[in-house]
């Protein structure tokens, strides 16, 4: 019984994250940010990388300051790298690593969008190239097509505007790994 509870724990946290994301999508950005930060404090800096990646990925969306958004997106990428560099975690193992590989296009696309907001077009282009290269793992479905379309929009924007900062929906749809 204890073993089954331990196996269910990662799913329970991802479910809790998903519930807060629905709150955010419902329009309560500040409350979502506070709840996600509470989950982050509960998980800790040394928590499971899949959970840290997911939390940081969504926390980035709740930030008002582009520098803070970038910091959370970088945390998400760092946690994803921990899962895919050959290390297994107790909770998610190789299953988590496989899930995160499909997350890389979105992670890099979000970083590119962050760098555009911060008027750093060269860094944005670097992450767009990485996002495009990582797209090979995406299915030909709504999510995969949405990410590829968002990459194309951001590439076009960089080509035509030179990366001028500004608002816009340039990032991909968010997906739980």
pLDDT tens readout for residues 5-56: 444 444 799 999 999 999 999 999 999 999 999 999 999 988 999 999 999 9
Interior/surface letters 152-167, b for 16+ CB within 10 angstroms, e for the rest: ebbbebbeeeebeeee
Q: Is 174 exposed, middle or buried (0-12, 13-18, 19+ CB in 10 A)?
A: middle
> Computed from CA positions of residues 10, 12, 15, 20, in that sequence, does the dihedral angle turn out positive or negative?
negative
Interior/surface letters 66-81, b for 16+ CB within 10 angstroms, e for the rest: beebbbbbbbbbebbe
54-109: pLDDT as tens digits = 999 999 999 999 999 999 999 999 999 998 865 544 454 455 566 678 899 999 99
Percentage, residues of the chain above pLDDT 70: 77
Tokens of 74: 């970088």
Question: What is the value of pTM for the model shown?
Answer: 0.81
95-113: pLDDT as tens digits = 556 667 889 999 999 999 9
125-152: pLDDT as tens digits = 999 999 999 999 999 999 999 999 999 9
Q: How confident is the model at residue 4 (pLDDT cuts 50, 70, 90)?
A: very low
């Amino acid at each position: 019984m204890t073993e089954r509870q331990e196996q269910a724990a990662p799913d329970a946290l991802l479910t809790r994250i998903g519930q807060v994301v629905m709150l955010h999508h419902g329009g309560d950005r500040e409350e979502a940010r506070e709840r996600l930060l509470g989950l982050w404090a509960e998980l800790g800096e040394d928590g499971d990388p899949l959970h840290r990646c997911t939390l940081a990925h969504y926390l980035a969306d709740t930030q008002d300051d582009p520098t803070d958004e970038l910091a959370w997106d970088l945390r998400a990428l760092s946690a994803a790298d921990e899962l895919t560099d050959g290390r297994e975690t107790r909770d998610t193992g190789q299953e988590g690593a496989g899930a995160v590989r499909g997350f890389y296009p979105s992670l890099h696309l979000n970083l590119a969008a962050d760098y555009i907001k911060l008027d750093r077009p060269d860094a944005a282009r670097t992450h767009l190239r990485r996002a495009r290269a990582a797209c090979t793992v995406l299915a030909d479905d709504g999510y995969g097509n949405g990410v590829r379309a968002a990459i194309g929009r951001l590439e076009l924007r960089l080509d035509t505007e030179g990366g001028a900062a500004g608002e816009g929906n340039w990032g991909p749809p968010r997906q739980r790994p």
